[in-house]
Structure 1
Amino acid sequence: MSATLPATHTNHLRMIEALYSGHHGWLYATLRKKLGNAMDAADLAQDTFTRILASKVAVIEQPRAYLSCVAKGILVNWYQRKALERAYLDALALLPAPEVPAPELRLMVLETLHEIDAMLDALPPLVKRCFLLSQIGGLKYEDIAGQLGVSLITVKRYMKQAFVRCLMLVD
């Protein structure tokens, strides 16, 4: 028994195949030059095409400009992820040897940090800033309102929005 794909799905796959075959080498070379690392460049190029495949975009008029734009977003996320990992590893380096968590726990913590980071990036900028000022900076809601130039009720609304996102992460 063979399944047939809808015409639009088939066209989309053909478009992605043509995009990949025509521009993968260029994108890989561009990323390799930026990163100085063939393995990371290959991973990020693949992630770029995977994201485009998932996007179901119908027409790409300027393939290299489009690929550059998508790859730039992926590259920014990659740099943020690497910075987060470095910060965590730097913090671990300051711990006395008996307190350093086992490799399995370190991996779990890094994965959780990446999930939290992605959750925070999904928040509107002021909501994210409000949440970080409260949770990392330890500021009181009144102080946050003054710093952000918003009302106390707005800070409470922002915090509720952030906490709801955090709860979604737990589910």
Structure 2
Amino acid sequence: MTTYPLTDIVPATVSDVPLILDFIKQLAVYEKLAHEVVATPELLEQHLFGASPKAEVILAYHQKTADSERLPVGFALFFHNFSTFLGRPGLYLEDLFVDPAYRGMGLGKKLLQQLAVIAKERDCGRYEWVVLDWNKPSREFYESLGAKPQGEWIIHRVEGKSLDDLASM
């Protein structure tokens, strides 16, 4: 694995919204879900940087040498949840993406490590995420870092018309 010391992980700012949306779209293509992306710059700006932000983003930037261009190469979008059993907040990773041209250099690990640091700084009792069942390379990578699949939990989701119907009952 080639690593480069000139990699920065930084919090995103409102000016990064177009970049964040581009990373979201690239991730959706990888996950074979491009048809589901309806996010817009306006929605991301409102919900990530508005009066009451709902999530946060960190960005990975990379330089091969001190004289080369600093390029955005990945992102992680996360937010807090809460564990009633632990009585403490948790950190939930919604999306992690590293540009395919920069995979294998430790950048994904660096993003995950930075989120672990954030979780510890914020007194989180756990740090979790989900991964698609067919994504064996990612599952193996996460498990190599000590992540344990939680097979006893089944995700349920209400969205679209079902969400509208439930809200109007």
TM-score of the pair, normalised by structure 2:
0.24
| Structure holding more strand per residue | 2
Q: Which has the higher contact order (CA 8 A, sep 6+)?
A: 2
**Superposition TM-score, scaled by structure 1 size:** 0.24
Q: Which has the larger radius of gyration?
A: 1
